[in-house]
């Protein structure tokens, strides 16, 4: 068993494994640390939105760290809402709000922690993306790898190669679902989903008619197995009925 440590977060004693991320320890102990670019779907984290900063006091020294990627290595005392942190967070929030003024999730967060007022920053009108890269991570984790960051510096954005519909994309919406700011746009009609400059045919459950995803994503998810024609709940229902028919008299 790995070494256990006791640390203090906002005065509360918390036990954790050595090497565990500070954010996880805080969350488990009911201490809220705000974050945008953190998703529990992945083991490695982006540390990109910088909203999850906290103050760590270790061996008499205090430093500001991003809690989502800060592994607890020794005993320490953590402040998640100290004056310094609140001030710095509100500066980070101001940067994020100027970067992506249209991001719906920011309104709530600004209300909660405030954003430093400044006229030194340019606001990118209509922008929602904070370039955290969660979508790219999701797409790669899935094994499709259809999108990536393109260009660098102020020109940086997320896109498919050449801004064209990508053969690698299956239209599964993983990128849009993981996006913390709702920046990935797509549209759907009764039969088609359009995302990343490409149209995908939607498939419906042959039983209940619910959308199961795009044709490409269903085939991709099935890998070498038989491609399902029913949604999960209908399939279970069928299986249960079959079991009942088989074992009725047991």
- Residues of this chain that interact with other proteins (CB under 8 A) are 139-140, 144-152, 160-162, 166, 168
Nearer to other proteins, 64 or 168 (CB): 168
What residues contact residue 141 under an 8 Å CB cut-off, 6+ apart?
Answer: 41, 42
Minimum gap (Å) between residue 71 Cβ and other proteins: 27
Question: Where are the extended beta strands (E) located within the chain?
Answer: 4-9, 12-17, 53-58, 61-66, 77-79, 148-150, 157-159, 186-188, 192-195, 198-204, 211-214
Quote the tokens at residue 51: 């909203």
What is 19-63 written as a DSSP string? T-BHHHHHHHTT-----SS--TT-SS----S-TTEEEEEETTEEE
Nearer to other proteins, 129 or 139 (CB): 139
Nearer Cβ to other proteins (104/145): 145
Nearer to other proteins, 70 or 171 (CB): 171
Let me know: does 78 contact 57? Beta carbons within 8 Å. yes
> Side-chain half-sphere of 111: how many Cα atoms within 13 Å?
5
Both tokens assigned to 105: 């999730």
What whole-number distance in Å separates Cα of residue 81 and Cα of residue 201? 48
Question: Residue 137 CB, nearest distance to other proteins (Å)?
Answer: 12
Smallest distance, other proteins to C-beta of residue 131, A: 12
Nearest distance, CB of residue 171 and other proteins, angstroms: 15
Pick between residue 162 and residue 249 the one whose CB is nearest to other proteins.
162
* Residue closer to other proteins, measured from CB, 54 or 172: 172
Structure tokens belonging to residue 240:
């249960």
Nearest approach in angstroms of CB 184 to other proteins is 15
Residues contacting 48, CB < 8 A, separation 6+: 37, 130, 131, 132, 133
Residue 55 CB, nearest approach to other proteins (Å):
34
């Amino acid at each position: 068993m790995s070494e256990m440590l006791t640390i203090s977060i906002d005065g509360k004693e918390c036990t954790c494994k050595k090497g565990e991320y500070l954010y996880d320890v805080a969350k488990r102990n009911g201490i809220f640390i705000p974050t945008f670019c953190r998703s529990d779907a992945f083991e490695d984290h982006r540390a990109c939105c910088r909203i999850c900063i906290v103050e760590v006091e270790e061996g008499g020294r205090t430093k500001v760290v991003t809690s989502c990627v800060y592994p607890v290595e020794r005993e320490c005392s953590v402040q998640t809402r100290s004056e310094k942190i609140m001030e710095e967070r509100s500066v980070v929030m101001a940067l994020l709000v100027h970067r992506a003024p249209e991001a719906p999730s920011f309104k709530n967060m600004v209300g909660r922690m405030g954003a430093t007022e400044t006229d030194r920053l340019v606001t990118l009108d209509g922008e929602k993306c904070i370039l955290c890269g969660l979508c790219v991570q999701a797409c790669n984790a899935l094994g499709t790898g259809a999108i990536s960051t393109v260009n660098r510096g102020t020109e940086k954005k997320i896109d498919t190669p050449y801004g064209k519909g990508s053969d690698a994309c299956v239209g599964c919406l993983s990128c849009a679902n993981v996006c913390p700011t709702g920046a990935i746009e797509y549209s759907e009609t009764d039969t088609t989903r359009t995302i990343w400059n490409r149209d995908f045919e939607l498939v419906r459950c042959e039983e209940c008619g619910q959308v199961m995803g795009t044709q490409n994503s269903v085939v991709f998810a099935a890998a070498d197995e038989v491609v399902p024609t029913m949604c999960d709940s209908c399939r279970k229902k069928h299986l249960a009925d079959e079991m009942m028919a088989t074992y009725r008299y047991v």
